[in-house]
Amino acid sequence: MIKRIDHVSIAVRDFEKARKFFEGILGAIPGSHATDDSMKYKWHIFSAGDLSRLEIISPTGQGSFLDGFLKDREGGVHHITFQTSDIKKAKAVLEAAGIPYFGEYEYPGGIWKELFIHPRDAFGVLVQIAEFTPDDWLAPEVRMQAGQKFEVTETPDGCSLCFAHPGGGTVKLELSDNEAQLLIDRLNRAIT
């Protein structure tokens, strides 16, 4: 049902202060972002390292759904988003197990389908389960070019292998000359 954890969402009162911390100090790379006027909040996805992501969400005015969460705090972990390949199957699993969910929604064009499990039903954590294509939400510099699965770059001590990850983004491995030669040998044996 679950492919992986896609991101952790952090709700903050002061978006710019949080952005400067995660992007400016910790080096997170900004990706997709938007403002939802109906729910009075904005969200921004950041990549941290090869495969880690976080989302910063912040109210844009009075009456935001985040008001209660941020009432007595500057910020905190709001929810964890799990990726599923099929939201309908995920719903069926939850229903069969008697686990209630809410907030079922599909964005126009089917680019994001989601539902939530309340913290009282998920051990104190708000869980979002979503069906989507991860690379659609990432900055171009942290994802592989469409249709490309790997890239090899020469380094002073060997090479760097960068692979497209099925969860979006890339993962990079540094190989010495000896490790690269061992990989070549094993690849040749595997295809002959």
CATH number of the domain to which 77 belongs: 3.10.180.10
Q: Do 132 and 153 lie in a common domain?
A: no
Q: Do 132 and 149 lie in a common domain?
A: no
57 phi, psi to nearest 5 deg: -120, 140
From 99, 118, 136, the end of a domain falls on: 136
Q: Do 126 and 179 lie in a common domain?
A: no
Q: Do 42 and 61 lie in a common domain?
A: yes
Q: CA Rg, the chain, in Å?
A: 20
| Sequence-ordered alpha helix ranges (H) in the chain | 15-19, 67-70, 87-97, 177-191
* Tally of domains in the chain: 2
84: buried, middle or exposed (CB in 10 Å: 19+, 13-18, 0-12)? Answer: buried
Q: Which pLDDT score is estimated for 37? A: 95
- Helices (H) and strands (E) counted in the chain, each on its own, are 4, 11
For residues 4 and 165, what is the distance between their CA atoms, to the nearest angstrom?
Answer: 12
Task: Pick out the chain residues at pLDDT < 50.
Answer: none
67 phi, psi to nearest 5 deg: -55, -50
Q: Do 56 and 110 lie in a common domain?
A: yes
Q: Which pLDDT score is estimated for 137? A: 87
Q: Which pLDDT score is estimated for 99? A: 97
Instruction: Say whether 79 sits in a helix, a strand or coil.
Output: strand
Does residue 78 contact residue 126 with C-beta atoms inside 8 Å? yes
Q: Do 125 and 152 lie in a common domain?
A: no
Q: Do 38 and 129 lie in a common domain?
A: yes
Write the DSSP symbol of residue 28: P
Q: Do 114 and 172 lie in a common domain?
A: no
Q: Which pLDDT score is estimated for 141? A: 87
Q: Which residues of 101-135 are buried (b: 16+ CB within 10 A; e: fewer)?
A: beeeeeeeeeebbbbbbeeebeeeebbbbbbbebb
Range(s) of the domain holding residue 35: 4-136
Q: Do 100 and 162 lie in a common domain?
A: no
Q: Do 112 and 30 lie in a common domain?
A: yes
For residues 109 and 97, what is the distance between their CA atoms, to the nearest angstrom?
Answer: 30
For residues 77 and 134, what is the distance between their CA atoms, to the nearest angstrom?
Answer: 21
Q: Do 43 and 70 lie in a common domain?
A: yes
For residues 103 and 116, what is the distance between their CA atoms, to the nearest angstrom?
Answer: 6
Residues sharing a CB contact under 8 Å with residue 75, sequence separation 6 or more, in sequence order: 10, 11, 12, 13, 14, 18
Q: Do 36 and 128 lie in a common domain?
A: yes
